Chains A and B, each alone.
Chain A
Amino acid sequence: MHLLLIVAAFLCSGTVEARKVRGISSSYKRFYRERKSFLCIDGSKMIPFEQVNDDYCDCADGSDEPGTSACPRGRFYCTNLGFRPHYIPSSRVNDGVCDCCDASDEYNSHTRCQNTCWNLGQKERAYVEGQMRTLDEGLRLKQRLIEEGVLLWREKQAQLRELQQAAEDLQVKLEEHRRRKHEADQLKEQTIKSLEVGKDGFRPQNTSVTSLFQLLDNNKDGSISVDEVKAKVVLVHDEKRVLSEDEALVLLGGGREMDLTKFRHTLWDILTRGDNVKIKDGAPGGPANEDPHLKEADRAAEWEATSLRKVEEAYETVNMEISDLQKKLDIDYGTDWEFLFLSGQCYKLQVYEYNYTLCPFNQVTQKSTTGTEVSLGMWGMWAGPPKNHYSQMVYENGEPCWQGGSRTTTVTLTCGTETGLRSAKEPSKCQYIMDFQTPVACQPVLKQRGVHSEL
């Protein structure tokens, strides 16, 4: 009962004061102490106190009319008990629109305003609590994401190092293989050269006479028979035709067989000259290929080339991976790499007839229900204000627009417990804005804001 009286008295005095000097906050009360005269707050003019709030503007700064609409630059203080107090421009006093939730701005108008401060306050408090919860949760999640980010960053760094190590190893291997290939190539070349020396009219080396003889001597009996000639020797101008018995006999100097000594002086010459007959193509080894050294050198060179190609490919792949990774790691993922986890993710949102996809640090696209997909921009940069650099992303150089320029998307990051696209709009042609919610956008500073209820 006692308390009630005190409260009643308090309220009473409050209203009395409000009637006297309407529209001021308690911190300004000292300027409006009831005296004979009133000094405009800017000190520009002294007026009788009756002219305070008399619905005529005397002070250039509007300070004599805090409770009326008389001054163009004036402001009215909504106490808004139970909610948040705030100033409104004097022009909103008695304009028929309810601006203060305590209805104090419409004290002389047709409009009946309800006092909605308590409801608003409750809603606001619930909202703020929700926000706080979101923020707490968000910050907790953010911490985890930061930790994960750091790990991920390390992992990526390790991956990079591994790749770089692999690249280095491959580099060494590559050099080794290049050297080996070079050597093999050289050997092959030498072999060919020495073979070519024989071909060019100098006496062919014994080995080659012997090897050709051996090639012809299919049954390895030490002499070449008619059948053996027929099997391996063809006419230069008619390779398809098998030689006749007589022709083979001619080549064998009239006899049915020929030994190495005779071969060296007769058939060898004919075959190496090669203007009438030759060894049948496809027969294993011509005079050159047949050379086992060359064959060896050739095989070796080919082997080395293949190995080198494989190493080169591996090296290229690794280098590409490195540059990809480096490009990714060059992106600014926040001070604690907290945005790193977004890399490689994509988020979708349907707005009216369009499907928007945001792949952070990569690109933004829009797909209409009719199916055409349009690029709304490629990752550009962080574009938040200096104080909150990581609050906005810009994606640029999307699909060109009809009237010039190209599509650009600005993504604003807001604090939330989940990560996802919240809205996508095109306020001007080809200029898109998106709201992207994620815990990593939560800032501890937000926590300091709240509802002040002045009593």
Chain B
Amino acid sequence: MATFTERMAPVLVLWLAVCLSGTWAVDRGNFKTCDQSSFCKRQRALKPGESPYRALLETMELTNTRLTLQLINDNNKVRLLLELYRLQGNITRVKINELKPLKPRYEVPDVLVREPPTEPLSVLSQDENGVVLSLGAESQRVIVSARPFRLDIMEGHDVLMSLNSRGLLAFEHLRMRKDTFSYKVTSTVASVWDNIKRVFSSQAEPEAENKEEADSANQAETAKEEEEKVEEGMWEETFKSHSDSKPNGPSAVSLDFSLPGVEHVYGIPEHADTLRLKTTDNGDPYRLYNLDVFQYELYNPMALYGAVPVMLAHNTKRTTGIFWLNAAETWVDISSNTAGKTVFGKMLDYVQGSSETPQTDVRWISESGIIDVFLMLGPTPKDVFSQYASLTGTQSFPPLSSLGYHQCRWNYNDQEDVRSVDAGFDEHDIPYDFIWLDIEHTDGKRYFTWDPHKFATPKEMLQGLLEKKRKMVAIVDPHIKVDSNYKIHNEIRSRGFYVKNKDGGDYEGWCWPGSAGYPDFTRADMRAWWASMFAYDQYEGTMENLYTWNDMNEPSVFNGPEVTMHKDAMHGSWEHREVHNLYGLYVHRATAEGLIQRSGGVERPFVLTRAFFAGSQRYGAVWTGDNAAEWDHLKISIPMCLSLGLVGISFCGADVGGFFKSPSSELLVRWYQTGAYQPFFRAHAHLDTPRREPWLFGPENTALIREAVRQRYTFLPYWYQLFYQAYRTGEPVMRPLWVEYPQDPATFAVDDEFLIGRDLLAHPVTEEGSRGVTAYLPGKDEFWFDIHTFQKHNGAQNLYIPVTMSSIPVFQRGGSIIPRKLRVRRSSTCMENDPYTLFVALNTRRSAEGELYIDDGHTFNYEKKEFIHRKLSFANNVLSSVNLAPDAQFTTKSWVERVVILGASKPGKITLKTADGEESQLDFEFDASMSVLTIRKPGMNAGEDWKITLK
């Protein structure tokens, strides 16, 4: 078997060289522009104007929780059904579908965690021009205007959001292809049926019938006229050498949203672009279509590996969000009436009072499906996070060890290689938790197998890692080698689990193993089977410290259109077109479920994915794909992960060092320093690059990297607590500044620094040869303490920080308490029982607050209330620990070895009162130059009540 791959390898390389031009840049020609995507071109050709849609108010039906209303397109008389829901937590859901589609249109399943609970809607007023509905409390209303149709969401006198205000609602109704025989037959049959129905219904509702008849006559006439205009690309489309058969014809949907008062919009990852989204008037819209982009370019709206159709809008008064639940290819246009105006111009407007309100207009275009949009109305950023979390769930709570450092490379060649890299970390005293194996570890790219020579005894290897309390990740991609001697393939084929091509046979594409099939992960039975393959007796050579990585799950098809699957491939009765952006989520989900099941539901999984969709946060971590060893790629890692965090995906990271190309030692060090303060911290490198384990760049650089990784490990308790918070609330772990300082416009576009939780601000050095960085420290009344020197800085200032190669500018917010573990060991698991040092940074009121979360670090027992969650607070010279979860139970061996109070004054004495009422005096040291008070060895258990008093 190995020889076959051997033979295929050169072919593949040749193919890659030809197909990917072998150059170090994305071949843009491989990917569609809006103009090359026929529906985008068609839809974008529609210009703002009066909408042809009219609300038929007489069709309005209002139950307690749902309003329905028909819309009619006056051009073709096709009717749509509008559904409007008020959801719990200040969310409004708007659904638009065809009233009577020729066949059902796809509605995205499995993304919402449940059918969202509704709240009552009531009509406030109604006349022939429209209806006003109350959205419950907070004086929020929806105004449904009839002619033309539009929706305005108001709060008091303010319009929060308007839908179809620019008249860009467009809904390509399903239709018969006119030039085919079947159309003629069916349409005749259909009209026969219509006539019969009419006869029956006329007996019941003679009046309505007349109207209907008039309408349908009208409709038939205009529809005919309308459908004459068959545009190119409606019934089939060719891109490069690939043709899309489009048997269902045009089916695009589109809607515009106006956001008055909004100048900043965020989200809709994944794009290699700034945090603040740009207007798209002069170029392509932002594209959402999961694609394996070879060497992506930065600062453009091209689609990448994942798609989350969620946009956040923010101004000093309010944050809102739009969640466009559609898994087909989607494009998002953004325009703004203030874009292009200079700051001076804006000021002039303001002074002269001539300014129109700033406004951002957004337009969503999807190739298929329905319009199903959730308007998350805030008003605060955290409200939007919890609103979105209520719909799609929160970040899965990862095993603590996965927050440590990950060492990856394509590829660690054999067991001996793994052993020696592992030993290298010990030799150089650098902690790490996971070592990773890329595709070459398999037997000829057959996932769930091991190369029989290079990884002959995987359990032995895993046992070796286990003895050092370390773990491993092995890759499992969703393309399955077509090979009748491969068990996985045979099973999938015999169970009929493969995605089918348009002619009904198993879809086959070209990927790493050569010819490959793609399991249909949209099927629940397929996912269940896939999950069962991770059982220890199925996936041979695996143990509990082996975890999984899903790559190539866009899906990547080397010889497919845009390097992905043909849109007319079939998932049961649905075309791939409908489910494309969901595929990766399903792969991720099935894999995570497999890891849960193999432990009998006890252990938390860890699965990394490249492709994702709304809801992927529930299944694990993502990374930003195949970046490059360039300074700009280091910089873009910040906005890329910030954008993901805003839409619920907190566990994000970029390949440290850059995947393609080889980093200079300076870039590598700076990348470690940046990655150490980002949620998912993994170094990775391409097969063709020279080795870059941390100790290969001379002792100085080794020391710098060691220090960066060690800093990460000292903050693990804080990271873990933030992930617990993300799991509970949906709040991002890595946050843009504006999330915490929503009223400070200076923070709105900042994306070269970020917050970790609320209390740490990081401004990593991302410039080559940098001698200093200017960090914006937000908050008028805040203090920020340098975590290394403990120097205190005032908030609301741009602070210039001189830097050397060892500098990682990070600040702790005054008013916060951060628990850390300063005894950095070779892996996070080795640090489990270690004592804490509490860093108490005082604010202007000389107080501080923080939390401490502890559990076993790896099981689901936290769901059974087996954890410690404490509130730490300092006020009136008393530092105390109070139980935040009295009903939870857990014991820890960890104790508090040290308390460091920043911005303190010197006390006369310090006493500790523990839970049993005993009081003792504590030693301390005071550094007057930095106002740092260090309390020596209070020694109390971290899980108990205690009180330290400064006198």
Q: CB within 8 Å of B: which residues of A?
A: 54-56, 58, 69-70, 72, 89, 91-92, 95-97, 352-353, 368-370, 401-403, 425-431
Contact = CB atoms under 8 A, between A and B. Distances in A.
Contacts of A429: 687-689
Contacts of B937: 54-56
8 contacts: A55-B897, A69-B825, A95-B826, A95-B831, A97-B830, A352-B454, A353-B3, A428-B691
A96 B417 contact: no
B830 A96 contact: yes
Contact of A91 (B413, B467, B825): B825
A69 B417 contact: no
B826 A91 contact: yes
Nearest to B14: A402
A95 B825 contact: yes
B2 interface: yes
Contacts of B688: 401-403, 429-430
A69 B826 CA distance: 12
A142 B936 CA distance: 62
A370 B3 contact: yes
The CB with the most chain B CB atoms within 10 A, among A69, A72, A96, A352, is that of: A96
A426 B913 CA distance: 61
B6 A370 contact: yes
Nearest to B687: A429
Contacts of B17: 402
B833 to A, nearest CB: 8
Main secondary structure of the interface of B (DSSP, over half): loop
Nearest to B431: A91
A51 to B, nearest CB: 9
B13 interface: yes
B856 interface: no
Nearest to A54: B937
Nearest to A425: B413
A91 B7 CA distance: 49
Interface in B821-872: 822-826, 829-831, 834
Interface string B783-826: 00000000000000000000000000000000000000011111
Interface string B475-489: 000000000000000
Interface in B878-902: 897-898
B429 interface: yes
Interface in B764-794: none
A427 B831 CA distance: 32
A89 B429 contact: yes
B690 interface: yes
B382 interface: no
Contacts of A72: 822-824
Nearest to A109: B833
Contact of B413 (A97, A353, A426): A426
Contacts of A352: 453-454
Given A427-B413, A429-B688, A369 B897 contact: no
B469 interface: yes
A96 B897 CA distance: 20
A28 to B, nearest CB: 21
A56 B897 contact: yes
B823 A369 contact: no
A92 B826 contact: yes
The 7 closest A-B pairs by CB, nearest first: A95-B830, A56-B937, A428-B690, A403-B688, A91-B825, A429-B688, A428-B691
A369 B830 contact: no
B824 A97 contact: no
B178 interface: no
Given A72-B824, A353-B6, A56 B936 contact: yes
Contacts of A69: 823, 825, 834
B468 interface: yes
The CB with the most chain A CB atoms within 10 A, among B3, B13, B417, B937, is that of: B937
Contacts of A58: 936
Give the interface residue-count category, chain B.
Answer: 20 to 34
Nearest to B22: A402
A92 B6 CA distance: 44
A59 B249 CA distance: 77
Given A97-B469, A402-B17, 18 more contacts: A55-B897, A55-B937, A56-B937, A69-B825, A70-B823, A89-B429, A91-B429, A92-B825, A95-B825, A97-B830, A353-B453, A369-B3, A402-B13, A403-B688, A428-B690, A429-B687, A429-B689, A431-B690
Nearest to B661: A403
Contact of A97 (B453, B467, B834): B467
Contacts of A427: 413, 417, 691
A71 to B, nearest CB: 9
A89 to B, nearest CB: 5
Contacts of B936: 56, 58
Nearest to B898: A56
Nearest to B24: A403
A56 B691 CA distance: 39
Interface in B398-444: 413, 417, 429
Nearest to A58: B936
Nearest to B421: A427
Nearest to B6: A370
Nearest to B685: A428
A166 B410 CA distance: 58
A203 to B, nearest CB: 82
The CB with the most chain A CB atoms within 10 A, among B467, B468, B825, B834, is that of: B825
A149 to B, nearest CB: 34
B205 to A, nearest CB: 74
Contacts of A95: 469, 825-826, 830-831
Contacts of B897: 55-56, 70
Given A89-B429, A353-B6, A369-B6, A428 B689 contact: yes
Contacts of A97: 467-469, 826, 830
Contacts of A353: 2-3, 6, 453
Contacts of B826: 91-92, 95, 97
Nearest to A71: B823
Nearest to A48: B923
Contacts of B13: 402
Interface string B673-695: 00000000000000111110000
A430 B6 CA distance: 17
Contacts of B468: 97
A318 to B, nearest CB: 45
Nearest to B660: A403
A354 to B, nearest CB: 10
A40 to B, nearest CB: 14
A97 B423 CA distance: 14
A431 to B, nearest CB: 6
A353 B413 CA distance: 13
The CB with the most chain B CB atoms within 10 A, among A70, A368, A369, A401, is that of: A70
B823 A91 contact: yes
A95 B825 CA distance: 7
Nearest to B925: A58
Contacts of B413: 425-427
Contacts of A370: 3, 6-7
Nearest to B693: A427
A56 B688 CA distance: 47
B827 to A, nearest CB: 9
A368 B5 CA distance: 12
A428 to B, nearest CB: 4
A427 B825 CA distance: 27
A55 B689 CA distance: 44
The CB with the most chain B CB atoms within 10 A, among A69, A368, A430, A431, is that of: A69
Given A56-B897, A70-B897, A429-B688, A91 B469 contact: no
A368 B830 CA distance: 43
Nearest to A95: B830
A92 B786 CA distance: 29
Contacts of B830: 91, 95-97
A104 B469 CA distance: 19
A54 B937 CA distance: 10
Interface in B888-938: 897-898, 936-937
